Amino acid sequence: MADGSSIEWTEATWNPTTGCDRVSAGCDNCYALTLAKRLKAMGAAKYQNDGDPRTSGPGFGLTTHADALAVPYSWRQPRLVFVNSMSDLFHAKVPIAFVRDVFAVMASTPHHTYQLLTKRSRRVRLVAEQLDWPSNLWLGVSVENAAAMSRIDDLRHVPAAVRFLSCEPLLGPLDDLDLKGIGWVIAGGESGPRHRPMDPAWVTVIRDTCRAADVPFFFKQWGGRTPKAGGRTLDGQTYDEMPDRALVAV
């Protein structure tokens, strides 16, 4: 966890769980998997649990960290907090009781706004009624290509204050994107030595769909060998739009 983040759309990261497993094409070049391997080699305590080599890797076995639940209480100033930059809270191996503990921390720190992103939308939809949803929680799903668009329908059934889409890494066109019930969209290309290229037309369609639906649009990066290699402008403009925290936070 870190008080401060290089991720453009947040201000801090908080990892009450670490580790994950591959579930779709967007996971193929996972930055967190690579980072976990490095952290394991450095002796970082939270990354000593190895995952299944077929779907995960060194230091990336799903692990819950009860001691991390106290971290947001130490941040006195309000922050945008990305929950689980190194994991997925709705992984099947995370007990529902621990998810409730994480939600309780969010609810008891209403001065922060929490951004939680998952690829496991079906589990979220199935357990939604078993959770007390904090009014300062934004929930998003990753939508990297057309095959992942069913996650949006699951998201619409979840009572989060803001429902958002992370179309990153964007790996294909999202034709006929329906933004009903969606309050924010992030888009971006893949980075790293094995990055897959992103067609500018895919991004333009998403931006224009957001415009038509009056949904804030955030363009994170074009991607390339490094995250900043291609810059962040689209048609000569930087898109940093976000939901209004004052309208959704306690």
**Within a domain: 2:** no
Q: Is residue 216 part of a domain?
A: yes
In a domain, 6, yes or no: no
Domain count for the chain, please give it. Answer: 1
What's the predicted TM-score (pTM) here?
0.95
Interacting residues of 184 by C-beta distance below 8 A, sequence separation 6+ = 138, 140, 162, 163, 164, 165, 215, 216, 218, 241, 242, 243
Confidence of residue 230 (pLDDT cuts 50, 70, 90): very high
Phi, psi for 182 (deg, rounded to 5): -100, 135
Alpha-carbon distances of 77 from 11, 59, 101, 135, rounded to whole Å: 11, 32, 22, 18
Answer whether residue 3 is part of any domain: no
Residue-level pLDDT at 1: 54
Tell me the backbone φ, ψ of residue 187, rounded to 5 degrees: -135, 150
For residue 95, give Cα distances in angstroms to 63, 89, 92: 11, 9, 8
User: Phi then psi for 191, rounded to 5 degrees?
Assistant: -125, 160
For 194-207, the pLDDT digits (tens) are 999 999 999 999 99
Quick check: is 1 in a domain? no
Average pLDDT over residues 99-123: 98
Structural domain includes residue 5: no
Residue 56 in domain = yes
Structural domain including 159 reads 12-248
3-state secondary structure at position 37: helix
233 dihedral zone (left: phi>0; alpha: psi -120 to 50; beta): beta
Whether residue 7 lies inside any domain: the answer is no
